[in-house]
């Protein structure tokens, strides 16, 4: 199978690209904190089964936020002890199972302290450790870094209004449950190194203020990765560890990271083709077989790193002042970017979107066209098809057109 003959659109993952970013992450953690660290891959970022198996092979835990993700990673061989269960809505049965098996739980709701009280009473001879998700005013910590319109995230227990102190005190009253960790995750769109350093300083402040002896500090995810113009793991963890070392001994406190996009973006592209060129009044529209629905279904991005692959020599083509790259849908908003003063595009040319691994192939809606295929280029250069393109047969699974017994 040759990548030049693949029919677009498709996602393409280079295993060597994954290796590069996994190695940078491990090196940054080892250099700045030592061996007492662990990585929980953010399953929601891209839950492609092949990719989850790759992360498992790297020794990474599964960071999950739903019962569906739990069942998926269990099916792929992750055991409870190698899971980090986060999120504001958890399933009680899974919560108890992971705690009983020694996995990581970061509580983040009004229900979970009640579950801990029940678990404590049901297993008086067992000792349990949990983490607490912290919500703090990042804007106050980094007024120059955080976007003005952001009013803070909705996750975790609020430090400023005393809810964090309340839940810590409540857990401390249980004889066999310990607040063993703090979970701090940047909810801001500002992903600068300064924000993560400030969050690490909050972990130090909270541990000192509430006299916590922590077994771990979980710094969450949201890191930049795969972009030459942005910081990477080496920048983040130098700053994070510098702050944490003011309070915590790396030999005694595990540092947890939960990367997602930063681990998989550099390795993944989305390949599309120009199918038609339409001249309408003063505009030139390039109709492609990809879409914003493939790359940005939540319409949160405005920049799409990309490069072109031409069917012939672009320098011999006329220069066009403006060409709009658009998708296959019938929605006018399905415009991805404008090419200014570039060679005239023609059918057969490819538009290749770089850094396309996170919140893309597993967030696609089933809209007009179904899921595109996913190919993996192995380290030896061979190609592997990790997902077939979905068609009508796949879409019709568990859909019915006739009356049936609900209990079937």
Percent of the chain with pLDDT over 70: 97
Within this chain, do residues 114 and 234 fall inside the same structural domain, yes or no? yes
Render pLDDT for 198-226 as a digit per residue (tens, 0 to 9).
Answer: 999 999 999 999 999 999 999 999 998 87
Q: Are 95 and 115 a contacting pair, CB within 8 Å?
A: yes
CA dihedral 100, 101, 105, 107 (to 10 degrees): -10
Q: How far apart are CA 73 and CA 61, in angstroms?
A: 10
Within this chain, do residues 336 and 367 fall inside the same structural domain, yes or no? yes
Within this chain, do residues 39 and 182 fall inside the same structural domain, yes or no? yes
Total count of domains within the chain: 2
Give the domain extent around 374: 3-10+266-395
Q: How far apart are CA 225 and CA 235, in angstroms?
A: 11
Strand partners, 62: 41, 83
Within this chain, do residues 258 and 270 fall inside the same structural domain, yes or no? no
Within this chain, do residues 373 and 296 fall inside the same structural domain, yes or no? yes
Within this chain, do residues 99 and 238 fall inside the same structural domain, yes or no? yes
What is the arithmetic mean of pLDDT over 57-80? 98
Is 287 part of a structural domain of the chain? yes
pLDDT at 407: 64
Helix ranges (H only) for 216-361 are 233-244, 261-264, 292-295
Which of 234, 263, 292 is where one domain is finished?
263
Structure tokens at 165: 């102190």
Is 227 part of a structural domain of the chain? yes
pLDDT of 150 above 70: no
Within this chain, do residues 136 and 248 fall inside the same structural domain, yes or no? yes
pLDDT at 148: 45
Is 129 part of a structural domain of the chain? yes
Within this chain, do residues 186 and 251 fall inside the same structural domain, yes or no? yes
Render pLDDT for 274-283 as a digit per residue (tens, 0 to 9).
Answer: 999 999 998 8
Within this chain, do residues 100 and 228 fall inside the same structural domain, yes or no? yes
Which of 263, 296, 321 is where one domain is finished?
263
pLDDT at 349: 98
pLDDT at 146: 67
* Token pair 């989305």: residue: 270
pLDDT bucket at 143, cuts 50 / 70 / 90 = confident
Within this chain, do residues 179 and 201 fall inside the same structural domain, yes or no? yes
Q: Are 258 and 218 a contacting pair, CB within 8 Å?
A: yes
Which of 215, 238, 263 is where one domain is finished?
263
Helix ranges (H only) for 188-228 are 193-209
* CATH number, residue 119: 3.20.20.10
What is the arithmetic mean of pLDDT over 312-320? 96
pLDDT bucket at 112, cuts 50 / 70 / 90 = very high
Is 408 part of a structural domain of the chain? no
Render pLDDT for 231-262 as a digit per residue (tens, 0 to 9).
Answer: 999 999 999 999 999 999 999 999 999 999 99
Q: How far apart are CA 56 and CA 358, in angstroms?
A: 18
Structure tokens at 4: 């030049």
Q: Which of 10, 15, 52, 2 minimizes the C-alpha distance to 390?
A: 10
* CATH number, residue 342: 2.40.37.10
Is 71 part of a structural domain of the chain? yes
What is the arithmetic mean of pLDDT over 64-76? 98
Within this chain, do residues 71 and 215 fall inside the same structural domain, yes or no? yes
Is 407 part of a structural domain of the chain? no
Maximum CA pair distance of the chain?
A: 78
Is 401 part of a structural domain of the chain? no
What is the arithmetic mean of pLDDT over 158-167? 96
Q: Model-level pTM?
A: 0.95
Within this chain, do residues 179 and 286 fall inside the same structural domain, yes or no? no
Burial of residue 66, with CB atoms counted within 10 A of its CB: 0-12 exposed, 13-18 middle, 19 or more buried:
middle
Q: How big is the CA angle at 81 (ends 77 and 85), to the nearest 5 degrees? A: 95
* Strand-strand pairing, 128-135 and 177-183: parallel
pLDDT of 328 above 80: yes
pLDDT bucket at 152, cuts 50 / 70 / 90 = low
Is 403 part of a structural domain of the chain? no
Phi, psi of 205 (to 5 degrees): -60, -45
């Amino acid at each position: 199978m040759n990548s030049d003959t693949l029919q677009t659109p498709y996602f393409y993952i280079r295993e060597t690209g994954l290796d590069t970013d996994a190695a940078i992450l491990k090196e940054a953690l080892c250099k700045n904190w030592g061996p007492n660290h662990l990585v929980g891959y953010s399953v929601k970022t891209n839950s492609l089964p092949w990719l989850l198996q790759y992360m498992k092979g790297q020794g990474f835990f599964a960071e999950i936020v739903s019962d569906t993700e739990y069942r998926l990673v269990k099916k792929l061989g992750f055991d409870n002890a190698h899971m980090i269960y986060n999120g504001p809505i958890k399933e009680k049965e899974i919560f108890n199972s992971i705690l009983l098996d020694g996995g990581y739980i970061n509580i983040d709701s009004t229900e979970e302290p009640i579950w801990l009280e029940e678990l404590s009473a049901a297993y008086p001879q067992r000792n349990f450790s949990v983490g607490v998700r912290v919500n703090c005013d990042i804007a106050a910590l980094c007024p120059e870094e955080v976007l003005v319109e952001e009013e803070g995230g909705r996750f975790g227990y609020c430090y400023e209004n005393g809810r964090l102190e309340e839940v810590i005190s409540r857990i401390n009253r249980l004889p066999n449950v310990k607040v063993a960790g703090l979970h701090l995750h940047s909810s801001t769109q500002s992903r600068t190194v300064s924000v993560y350093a400030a969050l690490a300083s909050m972990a130090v402040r909270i541990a000192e203020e509430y006299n916590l002896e922590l077994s771990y500090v979980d710094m969450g995810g949201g890191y930049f990765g795969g972009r030459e113009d942005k910081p990477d793991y080496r920048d983040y963890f130098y700053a994070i560890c510098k702050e944490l070392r003011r309070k915590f001994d790396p030999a005694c406190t595990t540092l947890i990271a939960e990367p997602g996009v930063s681990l998989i973006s550099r390795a993944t592209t989305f390949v599309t083709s120009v199918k038609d060129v339409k001249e309408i009044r003063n505009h030139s529209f390039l109709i492609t077989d990809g879409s914003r629905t493939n790359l940005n279904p939540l319409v949160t991005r405005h920049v799409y790193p990309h490069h072109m692959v031409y069917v012939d020599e672009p320098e011999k083509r006329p220069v066009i002042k403006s060409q709009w790259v658009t998708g296959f849908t019938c929605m006018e908003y399905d415009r991805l970017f404008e090419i200014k003063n570039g060679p005239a595009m023609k059918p057969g040319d490819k538009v290749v979107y770089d850094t396309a691994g996170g919140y893309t192939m597993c967030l696609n809606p089933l809209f007009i066209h179904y899921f595109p295929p996913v190919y993996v280029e192995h380290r030896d250069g061979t190609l592997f098809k990790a997902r077939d393109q979905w068609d009508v047969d796949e879409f019709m699974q568990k859909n019915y057109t006739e009356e049936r017994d609900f209990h079937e």
